[in-house]
Structure 1
Amino acid sequence: MMIKSIKAQEVLDSRGNPTVETEITLTSGAKGRAIVPSGASTGEREAAELRDGDKTRFFGKGVLKAVANVNSDIADALCGKKINDQRELDTIMINLDGTPNKSKLGANAILSVSLAYAKACANKKEEALFQHLAQQDKYVLPVPCMNVINGGVHADNNIDFQEFMIAPHNAPNFETAIRMGIETFHSLKKVLQAKGYNTAVGDEGGFAPNLKSNEEAIEVILEAITAAGYVPGKDISICLDPASSEMWKENKYHFFKSDGSYKSSEEMVAIWEDWINKYPIVLLEDGMAENDWKGWQILTEKLGDKVELVGDDIFCTNAKILQEGIDKKVANSILIKLNQIGTLSETIDTMKLAKDNGYNCFVSHRSGETEDTTIADFTVALGAGHLKTGSGCRSERISKFNQLLRIERILGDKAEFAGIKTFKNQYVC
């Protein structure tokens, strides 16, 4: 696959912040275009996103340097050369950057090229992206884990925990599952309105009310599931991402938005144990902070046989860090964010390592998203079984759901819906 041209430009994400878009044209004429998202709640060991730092332009968040790196150094290294496959392309860029975290060229620059190339190759073969990337014989459509209540750094309210999600798993197909989720989302709006709560939404499209407690978020969601005509735990269960690293302060967990209290690692684990015993929770992401490895070990020992424990900030989609977690018996699942590691090949390597060691893979968007639907195809291609990409509104989130609906229609009876078997050690009613 010889590359004819690589052209990048600065575009905007869902927060109105600049990001990188790259278009690749192969000598065959096939094209591929990709836009890179950006996170707000980020792990310390994520691949480095390159920003300009010029405070007179987008308050320092411009990405003209990353764009220039694509149009010069990366284009010079790749254009006019025969590239045998995705891994060769990604390796050339990794070596060209030469840093452990892609800080020279920028992970945002590198990933935009990596994904654009994959799309160009799929278009050359006249295949859908999920077909081009497929890593298994059977296609699985994911359970949509929908972030219906936002808190933490994703919303201006009094909820400490970042994401309260619903997982509509008791469905024959993705189309039905997403309908169940949307119906519950709209029912939740009515439940919140009836209680006199605000129904404005946060960064990811979930509601962001001020509630009486963090736990009330679970209770109003359960009420909404019932109001939509479904049975909590049987039809729709709950997933949580408290983003505990954002609460980690002086080796304790600071409930900075509610009561200002501090909790030890043991006390934090006790909260999760209590909630999981009381509520139909099937997944807990980042239940402990990225630097609290001891806390993660306690959490895994206590709850690893009851619920899927997903490591996000602690692993950063990085195979080397994941291996450390496997060795230390930390978590039983990993969150997958392409821009945490910076290339398609490295992401696939991390997922293979996870699966080979019995860990689940949970694919995720970022809070600063775009209309790019790559992760929808990627989730199906890799058979991850569950995906989080927002809530029941905001088009940059819904676009991924719409792409999954298209994929399901393309596949017909060749598609299988993941359902409850997606979640490790399901704890349901």
Structure 2
Amino acid sequence: MKIRKIRARQIKDCRGKPTIQIFVNGASGSAPSGTSKSKFEVLDYGFSLAKTVSYINSKLAKNLIGMEIETFEDLKKLNSVYLDLLGGNPRIALEFAILNALAKDQEKELWELLNPSATEMPRILANVAGGGAHAPKSNFDIQELLLSPRQDSFREDFQTARKLYRAIGKYSTKAKTIEHAWIFNKSAHEVLDIISKLLPPEVELGCDFAASNIWAHGSYHWHELGELDKRQHFKYISQLAYEFELFYLEDPFNQTDFEGFAKLLKENPFSLVCGDDLIATNLKRLKQAVEERAINAVIVKPNQIGSLLAAKEVLDFARSHEIVPVLSHRSGETMDATIADIAFAWQVPFVKFGIDGKERLAKLYRLIEIEERLNKV
């Protein structure tokens, strides 16, 4: 496929904040952004969004028009135009648009273009209750409580998660986080107790603690418990993991504490101890985590590293070292569902796309659509 036309513009994400959308040969891609961010992420934008859009339309487009793209690996050709200077979001939006244009040009589904032999659907990590940076006025410090059904199809998993989401809402304040998770003005222990009692045996429970957000001046600051040192915080996380049989523990410690992650994994070898802020989809940091045996699962967010090729490299390295990859959305999402096709094509075991809100449902519905088409073949 030859790139014939490129156009960029500003749009609003689900929080009403501006982000970038890029069109390539009429196909689009848009970039999300996070609220809770790792300090190891690439910058969203190297310049202001307005300047970025202007630069793409006036200068970058001229350098890209005529470029031939035939495979996913051809995205490396973008390195020749110094896209990294623009930041992670413009490159991700451009790569999404290019891949969607290429799939359209070849008259294929995007996942089929990337991996025609893909067959396995991912499991859902559904964000049903939240606090922390996603609900700053709440006293609930855990950023996300996550449900993961284990049933016979992705559609059944989705339907079960949706049903439980609605049931859990009855116990909440009725307000929602920016990711449409229910807000509670209760302690972490109280909320976990409420939700765990609602779950049938085929649904597992996990937490994204995003603990860097409650870490300051060498200690953790909980609304319910006050200031905890590292040892006290570790004990509390371990207590929650044991009492509520948490199968998934994301970012339970500060984003530099490889030692804390390693200790928790050693105590909970059958749970997924997952690094997000700790790794930031960065291969160098993932390699350090492997050396220190700090995690057995890792979040992959393409715009954290600003390149789909780099994100895929992280995912492949994780797999080769028996670390479970989890492909994730961001809190500031758009209607772009490209990441759903990528999740299926890359055969990730888990997706963390939320469970409510049109921008998140777009991705989940796309996975249901993929499953339905597979079942018809």
TM-score by length of 2: 0.95
Match of 1:424 in 2: none
Matches within 5 A, 1:122-201: 122-134=103-115, 137-155=117-135, 156-169=137-150, 171-190=151-170, 192=171, 197-201=172-176
TM-fit CA distance, 1:350: 0.9
Residue 134 of structure 2 aligns to which amino acid in structure 1? H
Moved more, 403-412 or 320-329: 320-329
Matches within 5 A, 1:26-175: 31-50=26-45, 63-89=49-75, 91-97=76-82, 102=84, 104-134=85-115, 137-155=117-135, 156-169=137-150, 171-175=151-155
Change (3 A) 1:94 1:265: farther
Change (3 A) 1:295 1:72: farther
Match of 1:258 in 2: 224
Residue 40 of structure 1 aligns to which amino acid in structure 2? T
TM-fit CA distance, 1:236: 0.6
Match of 1:220 in 2: 194
Would the aligned equivalents of 1:69 and 1:105 in 2 still touch at CA under 8 Å?
Answer: no
Would the aligned equivalents of 1:70 and 1:113 in 2 still touch at CA under 8 Å?
Answer: no
Identity rate of aligned residues, in percent?
27
Equivalent of 1:239, from 200, 206, 209? Answer: 206
Would the aligned equivalents of 1:266 and 1:295 in 2 still touch at CA under 8 Å?
Answer: no
Change (3 A) 1:64 1:186: same
Equivalent of 2:248, from 283, 288, 291? Answer: 283
Would the aligned equivalents of 1:253 and 1:264 in 2 still touch at CA under 8 Å?
Answer: yes
Match of 1:249 in 2: 216
Residue 239 of structure 1 aligns to which amino acid in structure 2? G
The count of residues paired between Structure 1 and Structure 2 equals 376
Would the aligned equivalents of 2:259 and 2:292 in 1 still touch at CA under 8 Å?
Answer: no
> Which consecutive residues of structure 2, in runs of 5 or more, have no partner in the other structure?
none
TM-fit CA distance, 1:84: 4.6
Matches within 5 A, 1:195-214: 197-211=172-186, 213-214=187-188
**CA distance in structure 2 between the aligned counterparts of 1:172 and 1:48, rounded to whole angstroms:** 40
1:322-352 CA distances to partner (integer Å, 9 max, x unpaired)?
1121112111111011110112111111110
> Which consecutive residues of structure 1, in runs of 5 or more, have no partner in the other structure?
26-30, 54-62, 226-230, 415-429
Residue 176 of structure 2 aligns to which amino acid in structure 1? V
Q: What is the alpha-carbon root mean square deviation over aligned residues? A: 1.8
**CA distance in structure 2 between the aligned counterparts of 1:315 and 1:73, rounded to whole angstroms:** 34
TM-fit CA distance, 1:403: 0.8
TM-fit CA distance, 1:206: 0.8
Corresponding residue SS for 2:120 = strand
TM-fit CA distance, 1:400: 1.2
Corresponding residue SS for 1:390 = coil
Would the aligned equivalents of 2:47 and 2:86 in 1 still touch at CA under 8 Å?
Answer: no
Match of 1:409 in 2: 372
Match of 2:353 in 1: 389
Would the aligned equivalents of 2:353 and 2:360 in 1 still touch at CA under 8 Å?
Answer: yes
Would the aligned equivalents of 1:269 and 1:298 in 2 still touch at CA under 8 Å?
Answer: no
Change (3 A) 1:328 1:94: farther
